[in-house]
Amino acid sequence: MSTSWIRSAIRMAPILVVLFVVVELLVTNELAGFGRKVAEADRSIEAVSEENQLLNEKIASLSSLITIDQKAREFGMTTTPVVITMGGEDVAFHLQP
Amino acid sequence: MGRIWIVFSILSLLYALLVVRLYYWQVIRSSSLRLAAASQYNLTLPLPSQRGSIIAFDGKNVVLNQSAYLVFAESKKIVSIASFSDSVAPILEKESKDLSALLSDSSRVWVPIGHKVEASRVDQLKNLKLTGLGFEKEPKRYYPESSMAAHLVGFVGSDENGKDTGYFGLEGFYNRELAGKDGELVIEKDIRGAPILIGESHRVEPEDGRSLVLWLDRTVQRIVERRLSEGVAKYGAKEGSIVVMDPKTGGILAMASMPSYDPANFGEFSREFYKNPIVASTFEPGSIFKVLIMAAGIDAGLVTPSTMADEPGPIRVGEYFIRTWDDKYRGMISMTDVLVHSSNVGMVFVEKKLGREGMLKALHNFGLGEFTGIDLQEEAAANLRKDSEWGEIDLATASFGQGIAVTPIQMVRAVAAIANGGSLVVPRVVKEIRDMTGKTFAMKPGKTRTVLSPSSARIMTEMMIAAVDRGEAKWAKPKGYRIAGKTGTAQIPVSGHYDATKTIASFVGFAPADDPRFIMLITLREPSSSPWGSETAAPLFFTIAKDLLSYYSIAPE
């Protein structure tokens, strides 16, 4: 009984070895693909971060007071040269009891 | 038997020597040997952290990082050093032969060939598709508002190891918070120094720096810088400084000095421009100082606004005569008129009332001679002379702001105590610190001590309003607003005496006086159009005050 079991096990061994090799190849292949995906994800994170930083720079530049001032002037706006403030006594129709 | 003992002793001695030797190598030298071994086996690549941003009160960036790169070459991978150098050098604005010499050094595997290179140039380099050319992120500072608030912000330069370090202003004071912590990548290397791909590697991620959110208001800063530039040109001043502060919290709303520099190109400017004169330079304040001594007299109950002082003519103190600024003498005048007419003789009257102890107490109380605690790197505190060294004439002249030195920030903080009801606040530039996860840490406003009672502060405010409404600069004041202030004209000490032609014109004031939104100190050094504060610094103050009142939508009464 035990001898026949050993014989069949020996006969099965090459099949098992081949099977393990195939499984190993499949797993390795899967891992290699997975690694590539991780690398791709890292690259896209980096690209998006970089783009984000460039956009931040652009926003900061466009919303700076220097740029706004320049744009306003291009649209024909000017700064009021003199602001005159009037106290209560200067108002023409100032009503007081 | 004796020979056996000799052999035993020699063997024991040799054994002991062996133990000592092993102890030396394995305990005493172990760490240095470990380091030596590590440097032999491992290649360490730094992973720089991103420096934090500096953000204005309205959430807009004043300083942020710009995409830039460290360009490096791996000499061993380069096919032809000559053609590599010819292609790369023009883009990096370097000499081809210098670059070629650098890359030909066989002892160097990894050679940095360009620091903080902008993204556009890096794109040009990438398009060359050269083997052995690599890029690492190395951000640099970007200033969207150009040189705005340069003295306040400071700049980022390199330390002795070539590492980015903040100098002056906020960059210097908060360098540790802004810089963050660099990471590193440790990988095993082969005998030639090349990394082993399947070798062990250890990566420590960098921790980015924290960002600073300021009290600074960009609009106020821009108004102040524009008006200061116009004022310096109009009045022919050599230098000028303006600080605008919230008197209740001590938050710095704007701070500007001229001449200034560009923090993006700080190397092109003389080092003398780097220090912020508002915190690092001292001046004799002149008549603006009178409000502090008068406030001390009122708080001590020694004088009231209606207390009369005799101003018959120049007053003798020891061997000196003290005169009024216009050499006019008005006989009996009230304390309010002492401020309105800026009477030096009247201030000596207050000083005599306070006495030596009272005067010294007032000077210490208002924080003179001590650091204000402002969060800027280069703060200096003008030393007061020792209490025992104050002579009669020193105390008399100090009562009207001569013979005593202060920094503008000390002066504005002391006067803020009048504006806010009596508290000596700690001036603050940073409102909160924000980490990379968005978590914020508020920098609570600080109060050093109470220096005046609220009623004394109110009385003093009314006297300062009178000084504006009836003083020499009343013509420039915007109508309908209650503004408290005081002009100052101080002579400049040169080689032990005062130069009659050189003055520092100043004005300190706050508005609206009953619920101040801002306190502002203006100093103009050596104005050539007029030496007087009432004709230079005061109109500049009121011009800026008009802009600020309009900006804050505060209507006239």
- What digits encode the pLDDT tens for the residues B407-440? 999 999 999 999 999 999 999 999 999 998 889 9
Residue B486 Cα distances to B57, B298, B465, B512, B524, angstroms: 29, 17, 9, 15, 15
pLDDT for position A94: 52
- Contact residues of B toward A, CB < 8 A: 60-61, 64-67, 119, 139, 142, 144-146, 148, 218-219, 222, 478-481, 546-547, 549-550, 556-557
Q: Phi and psi at residue A11, in whole multiples of 5°? A: -65, -35
Distance, CA of B108 to CA of B115 (rounded, Å)? 17
Provide the 8-state DSSP code for B266.
G
A-B contacts (CB, under 8 Å): 57
pLDDT for position B498: 77
Decide: residue B296, CB within 10 A, 0-12 exposed, 13-18 middle, 19+ buried: buried
- Taking an 8 Å cut-off on Cβ atoms, the answer to whether B550 and A90 are in contact is no
pLDDT for position A31: 74
- Taking an 8 Å cut-off on Cβ atoms, the answer to whether A85 and B479 are in contact is yes
Note whether B158 and B175 are within 8 A (CB). no
How confident is residue B108, by pLDDT bands cut at 50, 70 and 90?
confident
How confident is residue B2, by pLDDT bands cut at 50, 70 and 90?
confident
Q: Which of B66, B144, B480 sits opposite A85 (nearest CB)?
A: B480
Distance, CA of A64 to CA of B189 (rounded, Å)? 48
- Taking an 8 Å cut-off on Cβ atoms, the answer to whether B144 and A63 are in contact is yes
Q: Three-class SS of residue A37?
A: helix
pLDDT for position B44: 82
From chain A, pick out residues whose CB is under 8 angstroms from the CB of B549: 85
From chain B, pick out residues whose CB is under 8 angstroms from the CB of A50: 67
**In the structure encoding, which two tokens stand for residue A58, read together?**
């652009």
CB count within 10 Å of CB A4 equals 8
- Taking an 8 Å cut-off on Cβ atoms, the answer to whether A60 and B65 are in contact is no
Q: What is the pLDDT of residues B247-304, one digit of tens each?
A: 999 999 999 999 999 999 998 999 989 999 999 999 999 999 999 999 999 999 999 9
- Taking an 8 Å cut-off on Cβ atoms, the answer to whether B146 and A65 are in contact is no
Distance, CA of B484 to CA of B463 (rounded, Å)? 8
How confident is residue B120, by pLDDT bands cut at 50, 70 and 90?
confident
**In the structure encoding, which two tokens stand for residue B229, read together?**
């530039």
Q: Which of A54, A85, A88 sits opposite B478 (nearest CB)?
A: A85
Q: Closest Cα partner for B488 from B508, B465, B513?
A: B508
- Taking an 8 Å cut-off on Cβ atoms, the answer to whether A66 and B64 are in contact is no
Q: Which element (helix H / strand E) includes B14?
A: helix B2-23
From chain A, pick out residues whose CB is under 8 angstroms from the CB of B264: none
- Taking an 8 Å cut-off on Cβ atoms, the answer to whether A56 and B550 are in contact is no
Strands (E), B385-517: 423-426, 430-434, 440-442, 446-450, 484-494, 497-511
Q: What is the pLDDT of residues B123-182, one digit of tens each?
A: 899 999 888 899 888 888 999 999 999 999 999 998 888 788 999 999 999 999 999 998
How confident is residue A81, by pLDDT bands cut at 50, 70 and 90?
low
Average pLDDT, chain B: 91
Which residue from B minimizes the CA distance to A68? B145
Own/partner pairs for A54-59, CB < 8 Å, 24+ apart? A54/B67, A54/B119, A56/B61, A56/B64, A57/B64, A57/B66, A57/B67, A57/B142, A57/B144
Q: Which of B64, B480, B547 sits opposite A56 (nearest CB)?
A: B64
Q: Closest Cα partner for B292 from B452, B475, B185, B403?
A: B452
**In the structure encoding, which two tokens stand for residue B470, read together?**
């009836």
Evaluate if residue B197 carries a pLDDT over 70: no
**In the structure encoding, which two tokens stand for residue B532, read together?**
């007087």
Please give, rounded to a whole number of angstroms, the shortest distance from the CA of A86 to a CA of chain B: 5
pLDDT for position B426: 96
Hey, what domains does chain B have and what are their CATH numbers?
42-65+142-214 (3.90.1310.10), 68-138 (3.30.70.2110), 218-264+276-551 (3.40.710.10)
